[in-house]
Amino acid sequence: MQTSAAAQPASLEFIRRLIAFPTVSRESNLELIEFARAHLAAAGAVTRLTYDDERRKANLFASLGPAGDGGIVLSGHTDVVPVDRQAWTSDPFALRECDGRLYGRGSADMKSFVAIVLAFAPEFARRPLKQPLHIALSYDEEVGCIGVGRLIADLDNAGIRPAACIVGEPTQMRPVIAHKGKLSYRCTVRGLSCHSAYAPQGVNAVEAAAEAIAFLKGMARRYRDRGPYDRGFDVAHTTVHTGVIRGGTALNIVPNECVFDFEFRNLPGDDPEAMYAEFRNHIATVIEPEMRAVDPACGFSISPLSAMPALSNAPEAAIVGLAQELSGNHEFGKVSFGTEAAHFQRRGIPAVVCGPGSIAQAHKADEYVEIG
C-alpha cells in the first residue's frame, strides 16, 4: 500500500469513481456502498451492512479469505466534508489530474485509500490467505464517528473478532500510533430579558456565557503553560476551544438566551470527563447562583455533541510493527486529530492509522493527493 499505488490505472479509476459520489455527511452514501459491496462480492467477499435509523446511510464490512477469528481490518470512512463556500477551481466531485496531483473532494481524506483497497481486493482474493482480510467502510465519520460504532457493535454481535485494524486516514504513509481524544458540547444559557435601561432587573445570558467561556479559556491557558506535555504531538498539550456562539437580538434588550459550542481535545493520559466536571462545577458554584438570585429559572443546560476516545499504542506493539512493515516506513508519529482507530482499540482490536495523502490538504478547496 505505497502512496504510488494510487497512480496505477486500476486504483486511479476507483479514485475517480469514488470521488464522483457526492457523499457529504448530510447526504446518503448508499450508492457508494452498493458500488463497493458489488465489487467486493464479485471478488468473493462475504459482506454485511449496518444502517442508520433512517436507512439513508450504511456501513459495509467485507471479508476475504478463510472464515474465523483473526485477520486484519483495512478501514476507511465514505463521507466527506462539504464544499459550500469554498473557492474550488474545478468541480470538486470530478477527479482532475494535474502535475502529479489528483484533485477532488475526498482525494486526501480519504477516498484514495478506499480506492486502493477496492482496486487490490481481487488480487487479495486470489491469494491463499491464511487469515481473513476484512474491509470496513463507515458512514458519518466527519460528524462524530457515528457510523463506526454500529459497525463494531455488529461485529461483536456476529462474533467476528479481527486481530488488528489499520485505518487509512492521510498520514503520508507514516504509521500513527497515537492521537488525541475529543469531547464536544453545546451549552445553552437561559437568562431573563428586560429593557437594557433596567439591566440589573434581568439576567444577561450573553454575559453569563462569556463568564463560562472565560473559565474555559483559563483552563486552556493552564494546559498550555503547565502541561502535561507529550512532545510527540505537534500540539504537545491538551487543548480547550470554543468555536461557535450565538446570542442576543438587539442592543437595548437584555438577552435571555445564548448558545455556544466548545470542545476538549485531550492527550491520551488526560481525562476529558474530569475536565468537563471541573467546568460544570464552576458553573454550578460560581455563575448560576448569581443568575438564580434574580430568577430561579435561569441557568445552564449542556448537552454532548460528540465523543472520540484517544488512541495510544506502545512503539513496540505488534500492530505498529505490522504497519511499519506494510508501509515500508519505519518511523511513527502522533497526531492531534481524531480517527475511528480509537473506537476499534476501545473494543479490544489493536489499531493504528496509516494511509496515503496529507492531512494538510484535507477539508480545503482544491483538496488533492500526490501520486508518483
Sign of CA dihedral 157, 49, 11, 372: negative
User: Rg of the chain's alpha carbons, rounded to an integer?
Assistant: 23
**How many whole angstroms separate alpha carbon 114 and alpha carbon 266?**
28
Sign of CA dihedral 335, 339, 340, 342: positive
- The b-or-e profile of 17-30 (16+ CB within 10 A means b, else e) is bbbbbbbbbeebbb
Q: CB neighbours (10 Å) of residue 77?
A: 30
Catalytic residue among 79, 109, 288, 340: 79
Q: Indicate if 140 belongs to the active site.
A: no
Pairing state of beta strands 58-64 and 133-138? antiparallel
Q: What would the grid cell of residue 156 be?
A: 461483536
DSSP string, 79-134: -B---TT---SS-TTS-EEETTEEESTTIIIIIHHHHHHHHHHHHHHHS--SS-EE
Q: Indicate if 53 belongs to the active site.
A: no
Helix (H) or strand (E) holding 147: helix 146-158
**How many whole angstroms separate alpha carbon 210 and alpha carbon 206?**
6
Yes or no: say if 114 and 18 are a contact pair by the CB < 8 Å rule: yes
**How many whole angstroms separate alpha carbon 338 and alpha carbon 233?**
12
Q: Cα dist. 206→6, 210, 253, 344 in Å?
A: 51, 6, 11, 40
Catalytic residue among 141, 142, 230, 270: 141
Residues involved in catalysis: 79, 141
